[in-house]
């Protein structure tokens, strides 16, 4: 699934970081399976207790399954899980310019952009959503 999202959404060099993340999960991590048991999506979240921020971590949908609503469903589930914690005042994430519109429709707003931070032509966009924000 990771490789299906390279190079548009991830760089191949990020794979080892993803694997390390999976080996030491900092919080809940959801995995979506299709009817045959194949992984078609995944993503988690982790709480930064001192700041009241929950970070969405390593969310992705298999490239062949994008556009089916799986990413939205996965993100809504992660938001609902994070926002059940009364300490959470905002949810944050880092993404590329390719998914900014997707997250904006879910109530996130961009707070900074670092051009070419992931790779040439692949910007890092930091986004936040207050706990009370609404989705479209």
Domain with 81 in it: what CATH number?
A: 3.40.630.30
CA angle 72, 73, 76 (to 5 degrees): 85
Whether residue 58 is contained in a domain is answered as yes
pLDDT on residue 134: 72
With a cut of 80, say whether residue 36 has pLDDT above it.
Answer: yes
Mean pLDDT of 110-122: 94
State pTM to two decimals.
Answer: 0.89
Whether residue 31 is contained in a domain is answered as yes
pLDDT band at residue 119 under the 50/70/90 scheme? confident
In terms of residue numbers, what domain contains 118?
3-130
Q: How many domains does the chain have?
A: 1
Name beta bridge partners: 109: 128
Q: Which two tokens stand for residue 23?
A: 């080996």
Q: Mind listing the pLDDT tens digit for each residue in 38-93?
A: 999 999 999 998 899 999 999 999 999 999 999 999 999 999 999 999 999 999 99
Q: Mind listing the pLDDT tens digit for each residue in 89-112?
A: 999 999 999 999 999 999 999 999
> SS3 of 122, please?
strand
Whether residue 32 is contained in a domain is answered as yes
CA distance 18 to 21: 5
pLDDT on residue 135: 73
């Amino acid at each position: 699934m990771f490789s299906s999202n390279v190079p548009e959404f991830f760089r191949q060099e990020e794979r080892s970081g993803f694997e390390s993340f999976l080996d030491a999960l900092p919080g809940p991590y959801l995995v979506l399976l299709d009817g045959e048991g194949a992984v078609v999506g995944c993503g988690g979240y982790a709480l930064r207790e001192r700041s009241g921020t929950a970070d969405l971590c390593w969310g992705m949908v298999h490239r062949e399954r994008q556009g089916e609503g799986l990413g939205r469903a996965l993100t809504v589930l992660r938001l609902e899980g994070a926002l059940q914690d009364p300490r959470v005042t905002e949810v944050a994430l880092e993404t590329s310019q390719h998914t900014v519109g997707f997250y904006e429709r879910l109530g996130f707003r961009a707070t900074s952009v670092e051009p070419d931070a992931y790779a040439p032509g692949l910007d890092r966009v930091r986004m936040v959503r207050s706990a009370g924000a609404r989705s479209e």
